[in-house]
Structure 1
Amino acid sequence: MFVDFILIGGMITMASMILFLIKSTKDFSKKILIGFFLSGFFFFLYYYAFNHNAKILGSVAFLFGNGVGFYLGPFTYFYLRSLYEPKNEIVLKLMVALIPFFLHWILVNVPVALSIPTELFRTYGKGYAVVADYINLGENLFFLSFLYFSFRVMRVMKQKRHQFFSETKRGNLIWYRILLIGLIVIIFLDSLFSVYELIYPPLSWNIGTIIAFLFVILYSLFGYRGIFQSHLKLDFAELNPREKNIHNNHPKKGEVLHPGGSSAMTSSEVLKYTQDLSVLMEKNKIFKNESLRLNDLADQLGITTKKLSELLNHHMNTSFYNLVNDYRVAEVKTKLQSKENSRYNLVGLAFDSGFQSKASFNRVFKEKTGMSPGMYRKKFLST
């Protein structure tokens, strides 16, 4: 009864998320999520049918729910890439990565699914049962390889994040890292169960039900965070270095090439935008906007994010993160030196200077000055 409750709850959750996504979005990353939840629905349906010995239901569930590792591996990886790459650069690569799944579906899922409620491919189905655990181990290895690639993509996103955000909490993908770790744990357990069944006689109950329980938890986590991660999609889209309307990389007269090799900024533009940037920071104090992003600053300057990144990284030898937080720390230090602000606590001064939280303020201030805000205040007051 408890097992049925969990499995039915999982199917209802998957169906609800699928319907929500179908009605609410046309975004490509969300369409990938629909694929995730469809596989989850049939995965849970398979174990429900097994527990109730429902052959027709089990046949349908096996047809669409078996071999999910060949399916989820590429989808896990390309969902992450879809957060910052356009659809036309992902679809073909995703289809190529899904070739093992399509082959498995044709060679295994279709004939074995037909053998469950009918006499068709009955010998084929019995043969599959003999090698199923070996295929499962190969499937898990395939799945793990894409989780590894996902970790690599996350590392690149983390490295580039400082170029686009003034607050490192924005664009945070800790939840996705937890999801990947959870999937690795599930794959490890599933592989362990397969090895067990290769050595010892099968248990009277389906040991894979444990995996189904764990998947209910992970699918729910992934669904909630993935569905409500649209702001991340918009922010990380800026990480894509490709930009349309660039027809050649040859410099014109007066242009300054940066080490990347594709500059479109003249020396006069560099001077103008540097001066305009100083006005925005020193006079308008735009850095006090706690949610300031690279594209916000680019809009204020009237240039593209690509040009602004070039200006900061190659002509000013800094990053967006460092530029904004240098001004914020300088603002806090100025306030600390004012007697009028001596009655205010540090957190209040930090918020007024553009920091989003006490934790980020303490971290950035120590990073920039070599001491905590409290130590700095004491040192200043003692002089």
Structure 2
Amino acid sequence: MHFHFSFYSSILLIFFTHGVLFSILLLRKALVENNKPCLWMAGLTVACTLNIVPWMLGHAGWYSLQPYRDILFYFPFQNFFLLGPLIFFYTRALLNPGNHFRKKEWAHFGPAIFYLLYTAIMFVTDRIILRRPFFYADGHDRDLDNWYRIAGIVSISFYLFLSLRYYSVYKKAAVQILSFADTMLFRWIKRYLLALLVIQVLDILFLCLYPAWGSFTSKWWYYFVFSVLFYYVAFNGYTNSIQALFSFRLLNNGSDALLLFQSKQVLAFTPVLLLNNEAEQVIETGQKEGDFSLSDDKEIALWKEKILDVVENKAVYKDSEITLSSLAKLLNTNASVLSKVVNKGVGINFNDFINGYRVTAFKKSVEAGEHKRQTILGVSIDCGFNSKTTFNRVFKKHTGLSPKDYIRQVDAERKTENVGPREEFDVPDYNLGRLHQPHPPSSSQTSGI
């Protein structure tokens, strides 16, 4: 087989080889672990790998020789209409594992299928019926036509928009039902979509700079950057180990309402909530928003006091896996009531509500000198945080300081004032008069002081 090893062809050959390898690894992981996101990522990796083939083989001399030239002409290596749907369905499978691919969704792949048929028609016409070039009379690869590239940019941009919207919806749902939402925000998805957005911007830029046929060496740099970014996407897609703990379904009612599901095992999903993203509150399944009896401020204040009593006296914030539903069970109520009270009565989402107590507990532990008996991470875990990264991010969000800066500040104040730790337990100020006054801690909270 002819292959001229030049600087340009050799570099892309390295990425092509790794693309094939990651496609196989992702497919194997998908089949062995029944991992749907990996299956979609495998498809995306294959499509991206094929996308660089014309430029790799073109610089290897294939456009100059037969039958290699016909292979590049009549095989649709660059199916831009395939990339967009693969991007979206991977995003959805990762963020929403309970939402399975339905038959009607094959329509998303309609343009990609039509382009395959278009390529087949060109081959049959040129090579079988006419036996002479008709579609390729000008000697230009139809995959490189500007109209096709523009249509591909529009298609990919549309599905990128859908993916970003889906990620935004997921984040809104996560902070409403999880106290450890920061861990489950899939920042990898954000970086993955950002990488794809960079590819889109570069594609538009190179199309504007080099619209005419030719300039293959200049255009090669776009495919080099494309290869680097898709290698990053494939590698991180393979190594990603985070799984979503709930599922949701967008309702076709003209709003941003979601039917929300939750399951720790991510195997079976039971409907638990209806989430309205605009109001940032949840509505119980089968119940209309107008059916709520918590419209009275006094009643909301009463439920608010019950919630704060349970959170403080039972220290449920120390449970790193507490959710909206599990706290609702402790209160013998449903998640709908709890969410409405937290959002309207306290004024923040459930994630920030619980993390506020965790931050306060850490500050109290530092004032008690607990950080001198164990690591900062150990203290944070005792307070309910589940990772160092989450703790650092949440603590700075609530205090404006990093944990180490806060500890240095407390130690400096203690040396200056020469005072010991305070004997009362301060709680976050959630505008409930009783809680503004500090009260003695429980025996478990005073141990070690």
Task: State the TM-score bracket (shorter-chain normalisation).
Answer: 0.7 to 0.9
CA separation in 2, counterparts of 1:74 and 1:9? 24
1:249 to 275, 281, 288: 288
1:162-181 to structure 2, matched below 5 A, reads 162-167=175-180, 169-181=182-194
Q: Does 1:16 find its partner at 2:24?
A: yes
Corresponding residue for residue 329 of structure 1: 359
Q: Tell me what 2:71 maps to.
A: 59
Alpha-carbon spacing, 1:10–1:251, altered in 2? closer, same or farther (3 Å): same
Residue 443 of structure 2 corresponds to which residue in structure 1? none
After superposition, where does 1:332-371 map in structure 2 within 5 Å? 332-338=362-368, 341=370, 343-344=372-373, 347=376, 348-356=378-386, 360-361=390-391, 363-365=393-395, 367-368=397-398
Shift in CA distance, 250/112, structure 1 to aligned 2, threshold 3 Å: same
- SS state at 2:177 partner: coil
Match of residue 90 from structure 2: 79
Q: Distance in 2 between matches of 1:364 and 1:196?
A: 44
SS in 1 for 2:136: helix
Q: What stretches of structure 2 of length at least 5 have no aligned partner?
A: 251-257, 261-270, 273-284, 420-449
Q: How does 1:283-294 map to 2 (within 5 A)?
A: 283-294=313-324
Residue 132 of structure 1 deviates from its aligned partner by 0.9
Residue 187 and residue 114 in structure 1: after superposition, are their counterparts in 2 closer, same or farther (change >3 A)?
Answer: farther
**Displacement of 1:40:** 2.7
Matched residue type, 1:242: L
CA deviations on 1:93-121 (whole Å, 9 max, x unpaired) are: 743433333333322x3234557877657
TM-score normalised over the length of structure 2: 0.64
| TM-score normalized with structure 1 length | 0.72
In the alignment, does 2:70 pair up with 1:33? no
Alignment of 1:1-383 (within 5 A): 1=5, 2-3=10-11, 5-50=13-58, 51-53=60-62, 55=67, 59=71, 63-68=75-80, 70-85=81-96, 91=102, 94-107=105-118, 109-112=119-122, 122-126=133-137, 129=141, 132-167=145-180, 169-199=182-212, 202-203=214-215, 209-229=220-240, 231-232=242-243, 234-235=244-245, 237=247, 241-243=258-260, 244=271, 246-247=285-286, 249=288, 256=293, 275=306, 278-279=309-310, 281-294=311-324, 297=327, 309-310=339-340, 312-314=342-344, 317-338=347-368, 341=370, 343-344=372-373, 347=376, 348-356=378-386, 360-361=390-391, 363-365=393-395, 367-368=397-398, 373-374=406-407, 375=409, 378-379=412-413, 382=417
Tell me: CA distance 1:377–1:360, structure 2 relative to 1, closer, same or farther (3 Å).
farther
- Give the superposed CA RMSD: 4.4
> Larger relative contact order (C-alpha < 8 A, sep ≥ 6)?
1
Give the match's secondary structure for 2:214.
Answer: coil
Distance in 2 of aligned mates of 1:307 and 1:229: 35
| Equivalent AA in structure 2 for residue 256 of structure 1 | S
**Cα contact 1:332–1:350 (8 A) shared by 2:** yes
Alpha-carbon shift at residue 39 of structure 1 (Å) = 1.3
**Secondary structure of residue in 2 paired with 1:237:** strand
Query: Per residue, is there more strand in 1 or in 2?
Result: 2
Which entry has the higher C-alpha Rg, 1 or 2?
A: 2
Structure 1 residue runs of 5 or longer lacking an equivalent are 260-266
Instruction: Identify, as 1 or 2, the structure richer in helix.
Output: 1
Q: How many residues align?
A: 365
Confirm or deny: 8 A CA contact 1:295 1:304 kept in the other structure. Answer: yes
Following the alignment from structure 1 to structure 2, what is the Cα–Cα distance between the partners of residues 44 and 57?
A: 16
2:41·2:237 contact (CA, 8 Å) conserved in 1? yes
**1:123 Cα deviation (Å)?**
0.7
